[in-house]
């Protein structure tokens, strides 16, 4: 990011007025947010934190923050404090010396902040308000408080900055809702992070706010992520936003950024087939997309993948399952999924092992990141060469994180580096503060343009700051490997066997019924159809048909459910076979069940009259 980026964090959790509740979250919120915004690999902001200052000092810092800016500058202002409403309905932010009866003189007026924002020459200005508007006063307070709600966003609507693209305001809660600190507002609880600011920090630090996986977090993506997380934790708190800005504003880099391939759309004839009213036509189109997934041209394969994702979300169950089965073929399937170098002598020649990636070119095209400095990865034709640095003594444990076009995978690596016989045990050096050590791209060479390699520049630790924790740390649950499961393929095979049995029995019933009808006609008026049906075992065949068909459908449903719920436990081939077997079993069992039921009902009706 080449433009100048400045952030001002104002946090107030201690108030001189005894009527104002003391907050617990702002102090640690300010530290966490400052760290993630200042990180050159995430926000790359120049950060200033103002904590528990009186109103006149805060106002001075505010005006200085917005003055003397340039068009290329991006400004981010964050308030974490109480929001107060005057008797006339104006909004204020509480400072350390705020007297609720003298808000103009002792608080930070919202109109002053709005005026600073409108006068700045900065290109983009973003305001985050993590303020408690409804619970500012303690129960014993005799301070003046106004009635009615305050429209927070309305207080900041105005003209755009004259020299820039616009401004955005995002608030933790609307109207007079509480801005929750932790799961609840408690009088005497230990410090807990604010729900809103914690979501902002987590979304930026982990990269989860990068919804489209393009390697950057935009303002809209961050708001959508924060909104979902806040509402998930507390449905009574509703974040809101008001944006007057041209284009998208990039707030941060993402550590989760996966490779993004510009797709080549499917041919018009195939697109028309995908939107056909005929289910069989759409089913054939899905099979064609599945074949396009194997294409050596990654843009063509990516176009097919995106079409299949849309079908999997929106089409009927049978066709959606077929699309899901095709999509599983582009999941990352490293082999092996765990590397153990065993015991190696310290200082010996670096050991290496191979890691292969199966599947079509689109599945093999991914980013590989090592989480430890002693672990090196190098791309080769069919996967990776993993090298172990033996200079560090002791048990070693790390991960290789693979990020594909639509899937992630983790390969766990372990080794024990022991001193050679007669060698003195050296002191183990401290680990560098960064979690990610090495990043390479496994490129199949068919993207149409060389991919950008997201290597990170070396960085010195910043005094007073701790290194951000990697979302793929060795202790993370996602770094543990899972044993491959065989339940779904076995259930799918049993379902197919039962489906075949149902088809065979319904055919036998049909043959027997035809013979029974012929004999009944030859017997004349004195006969009964039930006697002939019983002679050929038609009812028994129909009963077996119904039971086996129903059982096939149940087992197939269990297999599909296990495949979706625990897809990480299945290899690509196992997933593909399971999906194909369950689809075939369903295609056989459903017609057999319908024919068997109709034949049985027909017999029960006819036997009474013929």
Closest by CA to 341, choosing from 374, 383, 366, 371, is 374
Tell me if 5-253 shares its fold with 336-458+470-479.
no
pLDDT tens by residue, 569-601: 666 667 767 777 888 888 898 998 898 888 888
Name the residue with higher pLDDT: 107 or 357: 107
pLDDT tens by residue, 310-335: 999 888 988 999 999 999 888 888 88
pLDDT confidence bin for 181, thresholds 50/70/90: low
Q: Residue 475: what pLDDT?
A: 34
pLDDT tens by residue, 401-419: 888 877 778 899 999 988 8
Closest by CA to 326, choosing from 441, 212, 442, 406, is 406
Mean pLDDT computed over 28-47: 89
Sheet holding 394-404, edge to edge: 338-345, 408-418, 394-404, 366-370, 438-442
Q: Residue 610: what pLDDT?
A: 66
Q: Residue 8: what pLDDT?
A: 96
Dist. CA 100–CA 90, nearest whole Å:
12
Q: Residue 17: what pLDDT?
A: 86
- Tell me: pLDDT of 250 over 60: yes
Q: Is the distance from CB of 149 to CB of 142 less than 8 angstroms?
A: no
Peptide bond into 66 cis (omega under 30): no
Share of the chain above pLDDT 90, in %: 19
- Tell me: pLDDT of 90 over 60: yes
Dist. CA 469–CA 476, nearest whole Å:
10
Dist. CA 227–CA 92, nearest whole Å:
24
pLDDT confidence bin for 98, thresholds 50/70/90: very high
Alpha-carbon dihedral sign for residues 229, 235, 237, 241: positive
Q: Residue 59: what pLDDT?
A: 95
Q: Residue 289: what pLDDT?
A: 93
CATH class of 5-253: alpha beta
Mean pLDDT computed over 285-294: 92
Do strands 394-404 and 408-418 pair parallel, antiparallel, or not at all (unpaired)?
A: antiparallel
- Tell me: pLDDT of 63 over 90: yes
pLDDT confidence bin for 518, thresholds 50/70/90: confident
pLDDT tens by residue, 440-476: 666 665 554 444 444 443 333 333 333 333 333 333 3
Mean pLDDT computed over 503-526: 80
Residues facing 9 on adjacent strands? 49, 78
Share of the chain above pLDDT 70, in %: 75
CA angle 75, 79, 80 (to 5 degrees): 145
Q: Residue 437: what pLDDT?
A: 47
Q: Residue 97: what pLDDT?
A: 94
Q: Residue 444: what pLDDT?
A: 63
CATH of domain 336-458+470-479: 2.60.40.10
Reduce the DSSP state of residue 192 to 3 states and report it: coil
Name the residue with higher pLDDT: 310 or 137: 310
pLDDT confidence bin for 223, thresholds 50/70/90: very high
In angstroms, the Cα distances linking 15 to 21, 55, 147, 410 are 8, 11, 22, 48
pLDDT confidence bin for 378, thresholds 50/70/90: confident
Q: Residue 577: what pLDDT?
A: 74
Q: Residue 46: what pLDDT?
A: 94
Tell me which range, 287-301, 367-381, 533-547, is most confidently predicted by mean pLDDT.
287-301
Helix, strand, coil % over all residues of the chain, rounded to 5 = 40, 20, 40
| Overall residue count recorded for the chain in this entry | 610
Q: Residue 188: what pLDDT?
A: 42
Q: How many CA atoms lie within 13 A of 173 on its CB side?
A: 25
Q: Residue 566: what pLDDT?
A: 66
Domain ranges of the chain: 5-253, 268-330, 336-458+470-479, 487-606
Name the residue with higher pLDDT: 513 or 116: 116
Phi then psi dihedrals of residue 223, to 5 deg: -60, -45
């Amino acid at each position: 990011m080449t433009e100048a980026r400045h952030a001002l964090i104002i946090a107030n959790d201690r108030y001189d007025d005894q009527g104002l509740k003391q907050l617990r979250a702002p102090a640690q919120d300010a530290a966490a947010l400052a760290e993630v915004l200042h990180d050159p690999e995430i926000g790359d902001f120049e950060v200033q934190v103002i904590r528990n200052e009186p109103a006149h000092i805060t106002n001075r810092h505010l005006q200085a923050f917005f003055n003397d800016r340039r068009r290329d500058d991006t400004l981010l202002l964050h308030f974490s404090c109480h929001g107060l409403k005057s008797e006339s309905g104006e909004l204020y932010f509480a400072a350390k010396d705020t007297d609720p009866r003298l808000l103009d003189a002792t608080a930070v007026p919202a109109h002053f902040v709005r005026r600073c924002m409108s006068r700045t020459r900065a290109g983009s200005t973003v305001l985050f308000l993590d303020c408690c508007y409804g619970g500012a006063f303690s129960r014993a307070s005799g301070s003046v408080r106004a009635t009615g709600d305050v429209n927070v966003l309305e207080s900041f609507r105005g003209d755009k900055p004259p020299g820039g693209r616009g401004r955005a305001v995002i608030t933790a809660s609307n109207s007079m809702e509480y801005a929750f600190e932790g799961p609840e507002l408690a009088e005497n609880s230990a410090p807990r992070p604010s729900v809103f600011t914690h979501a902002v920090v987590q979304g930026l630090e982990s990269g989860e706010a990068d919804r489209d996986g393009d390697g950057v977090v935009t303002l809209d993506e961050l708001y959508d992520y924060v909104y979902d997380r806040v509402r998930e934790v507390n449905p009574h708190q509703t974040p809101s936003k008001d944006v007057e800005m041209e284009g998208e504003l990039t707030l941060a880099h993402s550590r989760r950024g996966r490779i993004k391939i510009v797709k080549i759309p499917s041919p018009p004839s195939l697109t028309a087939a995908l939107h056909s009213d005929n289910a069989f036509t759409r089913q054939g189109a899905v099979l064609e997309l599945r074949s396009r997934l194997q294409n050596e041209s990654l843009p063509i394969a990516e176009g097919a993948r995106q079409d299949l994702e849309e079908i999997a979300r929106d089409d009927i169950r049978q066709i959606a399952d077929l699309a899901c089965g095709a999509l599983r073929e582009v999941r990352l399937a490293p082999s092996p999924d765990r590397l153990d170098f065993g015991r190696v002598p310290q200082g010996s020649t670096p050991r290496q092992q191979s890691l292969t990636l199966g599947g079509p070119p689109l599945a093999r095209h991914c980013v590989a990141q090592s989480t430890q400095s002693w672990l090196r990865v190098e791309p080769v034709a069919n996967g990776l060469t993993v090298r172990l640095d033996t200079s560090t003594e002791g048990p070693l444990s790390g991960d290789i994180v693979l990020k594909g076009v639509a899937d992630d995978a983790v390969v766990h690596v372990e080794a024990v580096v022991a001193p050679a016989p007669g060698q003195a045990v050296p002191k183990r050096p401290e680990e560098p503060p960064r979690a990610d050590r090495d990043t390479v791209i496994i490129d199949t060479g068919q993207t149409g343009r060389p991919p950008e390699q997201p290597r990170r520049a070396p960085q010195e630790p910043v005094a007073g700051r701790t290194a951000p924790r990697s979302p793929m740390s060795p202790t993370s649950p996602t770094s543990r490997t899972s044993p491959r499961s065989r339940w779904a393929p076995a259930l799918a095979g049993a379902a197919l066997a039962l489906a075949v049995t149902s088809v065979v029995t319904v055919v036998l019933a049909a043959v027997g019924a035809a013979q029974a009808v012929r004999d009944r006609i030859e017997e004349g008026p004195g006969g009964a159809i039930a006697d002939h049906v019983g002679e050929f075992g038609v009812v028994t065949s129909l009963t077996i048909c119904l039971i086996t068909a129903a059982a096939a459908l149940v087992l197939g449903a269990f297999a599909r459910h296990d495949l979706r719920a625990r897809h990480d436990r299945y290899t690509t081939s196992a997933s593909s076979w399971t999906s194909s077997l369950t689809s075939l079993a369903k295609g056989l069992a459903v017609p057999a069940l319908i024919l068997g039921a109709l034949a049985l009902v027909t017999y029960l009706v006819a036997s009474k009259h013929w």
